[in-house]
Amino acid sequence: MAAATQTTRPAPAADGSVLGRVKQYADIAAASGIIAIVAMLIFPMPEWLLDTGIVLNLSAAILILLVAFYTTQPLQFSVFPPLLLVTTLFRLALNVSAMKLILKDGHAGHMIDAFGKVVIGGDVVVGVIAFLILVVIQFVVITKGAERVAEVAARFTLDAMPGRQMAIDADLNAGMITEEVARERRRNIQREADFYGSMDGASKFVRGDAIAAIIIIIINIIGGFILGMIRGEGDFATIMQKYTLLTIGEGLVSQIPALLISTATGLMVTRASSDANLGVDIAGQFLHGPRPLLVGGALVGLFSLAPGFPKFQLLFVAGAMFGAAFLLNRADQEAARVPAPDPQAEADATAAQAGTPENVMRELGVDTVELEIGYGLMALVDSAGGGDLLDRITGLRRQLAQELGIVLPSVRIRDNLVLTPSEYRLKIKGAPVAGGELMTNHLMLMDSGGVMDPLPGVETRDPAFGLPAVWVPRNQRERAELAGYTVIDPTAVLITHMTEVLRAHAAEILTRQDVQALMDHLKTNNAAVVAEVSSDRVSVGEIQKVLQHLLRERVSIRDLGTILETISDNIGRTRDTDALGELARSALARTLCRQWAGEDGALDALTLDPHLEQRLRDSVQETVAGAQLVMEPGEARRILGAISEAAERMAALGQMPVILCASAVRLPLRRLTERTLPSLAVLAYNEIAPRAEVRAVGQVGVSGFAPRTDPPVENRRLGGACAEHPPGAILRASARTLGRRPCRRRFSTGGSGASPVV
């Protein structure tokens, strides 16, 4: 009950205070106030009600000015633009109501009469001049400047939105902030843009109010004079004196609050974000050091020597400035006498604190994916300098989510002085898995098979696929493109390498927490299957192992609902995660066929010689690590050699190497070939989707590769292309779903075996 009491927020109605009741009915009060303002424009008001409205108008203007003064960030007073509109409308409604009383009764309440007689001393000329000066100050100086500042601020804020959004994404990708913090920052950026856009338009309300005030005054004076003459209220001078004083008083009553709100508008649009209010900032920056005060005090003191200048006032101000400078100088001396901290003592204290169990525990965390770069590659990360590595990592995470169905955790990027300036290293769970070197001021050129005029440069190899490449200066881009090279910038080289590595290690990256998050997401659209799996008491760990079984062969798990349905249907017969994974592969037959099909939609595949398939079936044995092929090493090498040669020939013809076999030997055969031929797809017959087009391009046997009677379709499709690097090989390597590349180096094993013939 105590916990429930702490976490439950009381409703506003439960607050018996006056403030609680005001907040509860604030919306009703605001709507009623706007309706009352509109009514003031239509119906006449008694004098006492007009005095009340004038007092409320003046009080609201003072309050708005003070709130703007103490605001540290614009979003703290984001209601200011609509409030500016409401106050302007209220002020105009008071002007209209006062005009009605002046023209009807020749009197408009005590506030207007006091301003007409007391403030300007009953002098018409002084009143007119004072009113015009107020209008000029408000209209020409404050309102015009605030309008221009609001316009520029709105434009700059909108222009800076993409960069600020990218900075938030970069911090999120680097793991510096959480998703909730990033979402809140994006919301604040949108609110700030909306605020300055609203201020750009709302500042024109104040300008229109000043123009309306001048027009109303002219109408009051002329109309009052005409009515006074018709009514016979006196001679020309008396009538003009009476109505001019009333009109000027009414103008001053409305323009002083308008001037205060215009000042608040200027404060809101010119105020930069700070942690303190305007007064604290002014005091802190003016009193930053004693030297400006000393020089200023000396100059003010020299003015007192000029004849005719008020010496007492000048000497008083100069003395105050000298006193403030003396106090600041004394404070600086006291701060200088404070002993500086001992670096060795701080180091010892830090070391002692780091030895505590709490701080040691902080060092135990391991980032799932970490990218270490040399200091020469920092330009790739610096978005201000044109680096787009962080944006491309965001795109990489989105790409892996679409392809494999996993959410890649944030990639932490660190600089490592141990690495050479141009070196990078990719770690997964703290262990290095890949690395390479980049030349940031160069471009990598790769020969796709159609280069006739090679360009000289620094020879290297593509870190993702091992293809020969060359680094050339960036000013050679146009020449390289005309020569037929595939031009890749250093960031694209790094991202492509990261993509291949992360695809290969997707099963390691997927944690149980990730699986739980995927199931929670699936629950929003397919709660039944999640509840069914939970009722069958399938643990998250078992589901994780099934998903890892699929990811090891780069099978997408986006269709998580089908996978969970398969697990639920078969969990009563077996709890072997390998068997469940194979059943899930069969359920994803369409996905597998589409994944390994060629450009024409047909699946080109090798088949196993029946004798070889029977030999593999007889060699399958269940071990602690699952089903394995147990055979003589020499026999295993011959099988691998035959498969390797066949895969190379398929790759040379632009085909994706795929082997079809019985379901009983698929997984053991895959485990036999996964180390030497990691990109070879091994499919079972029951994993072929109905009505899928399959072309058997050959048969693998222990003694060789039996040729087909008719040449494969791809032989005719390739034409005269180079078999080693078919046209567009690198482009296909980047664009294909799993980044596969039809190049024989991907499948080279270096082992001996029979040489198949295509």
Domain containing 550 — which CATH number? Answer: 1.10.8.540
For range 649-659, the mean pLDDT: 85
| Within-domain flag for 363 | no
Tally of CA atoms within 13 A in the half-sphere of 406 that contains its CB: 28
- Residues 489-516 pLDDT 10s: 999 999 999 999 999 999 999 999 999 9
| Within-domain flag for 31 | no
Mean pLDDT of the chain: 76
Checking if the pLDDT of 16 tops 60, the result is: no
For range 608-617, the mean pLDDT: 89
**pLDDT value at position 651?**
82
| Within-domain flag for 23 | no
State which of 553, 587, 621 marks the end of a domain: 587
The C-alpha angle with vertex 705 and arms to 700 and 707, in degrees rounded to 5, equals 120
**pLDDT value at position 703?**
62
Higher pLDDT, 66 or 558: 558
Pair (582, 610) in one structural domain: no
The DSSP output letter for 13 is G
Place of tokens 């709302």: 202
Pair (226, 314) in one structural domain: no
**Backbone Cα Rg of the chain:** 40
Task: Quote the CA–CA distance of 59 and 82 in Å, as a whole number.
Answer: 18
State which of 540, 562, 587 marks the end of a domain: 587
Checking if the pLDDT of 3 tops 90, the result is: no
**pLDDT value at position 623?**
83
Q: Where are the alpha helices (DSSP H) in 72-121?
A: 80-105, 110-114
Range from 8-12, 218-222, 316-320, 736-740 carrying the lowest mean pLDDT: 736-740
Pair (59, 174) in one structural domain: yes
| Within-domain flag for 361 | no
For range 650-660, the mean pLDDT: 85
pLDDT band at 587 (very low <50, low <70, confident <90, very high): very high
Pair (265, 315) in one structural domain: no
Pair (546, 642) in one structural domain: no
Checking if the pLDDT of 446 tops 60, the result is: yes
- Residues 245-292 pLDDT 10s: 777 777 777 777 877 777 777 777 666 555 555 566 666 666 666 777
| Within-domain flag for 632 | yes
Number of domains in the chain: 5
For range 281-308, the mean pLDDT: 74
- Residues 349-396 pLDDT 10s: 555 555 555 555 556 678 889 999 998 888 888 877 778 888 889 888
* Cβ-contact 43, 93 below 8 angstroms: no
* Cβ-contact 616, 595 below 8 angstroms: no
Beta bridge partners of 458: 471
Q: What residues make up the domain containing 170?
A: 49-272
Task: Quote the CA–CA distance of 18 and 13 in Å, as a whole number.
Answer: 11
| Within-domain flag for 279 | no
Pair (81, 221) in one structural domain: yes
Checking if the pLDDT of 578 tops 80, the result is: yes
- Residues 61-115 pLDDT 10s: 888 888 877 777 777 777 777 887 788 888 888 878 877 777 776 667 777 777 6
**pLDDT value at position 735?**
34
Pair (418, 317) in one structural domain: no
Pair (650, 540) in one structural domain: no
**pLDDT value at position 41?**
75
Residue type (1 letter), 516: Q
**Secondary structure class of 373 (helix, strand, coil):** strand
| Within-domain flag for 73 | yes
Pair (570, 636) in one structural domain: no
- Residues 543-554 pLDDT 10s: 999 999 999 988
Pair (490, 628) in one structural domain: no
CATH code of residue 393 = 3.40.30.60
Helix (H) or strand (E) holding 371: strand 369-373
- Residues 677-709 pLDDT 10s: 888 899 999 999 888 889 888 888 866 434 333
CATH code of residue 636 = 3.40.50.12790
Task: Among 33-42, 309-318, 613-622, 698-707, name the most confident range.
Answer: 613-622
- Residues 140-193 pLDDT 10s: 666 676 667 777 776 776 777 777 777 777 777 666 777 788 888 888 877 777
Pair (188, 227) in one structural domain: yes
| Within-domain flag for 78 | yes
Pair (104, 228) in one structural domain: yes
* DSSP letters spanning 676-697: T-TT-EEEEGGGSPTT--EEEE
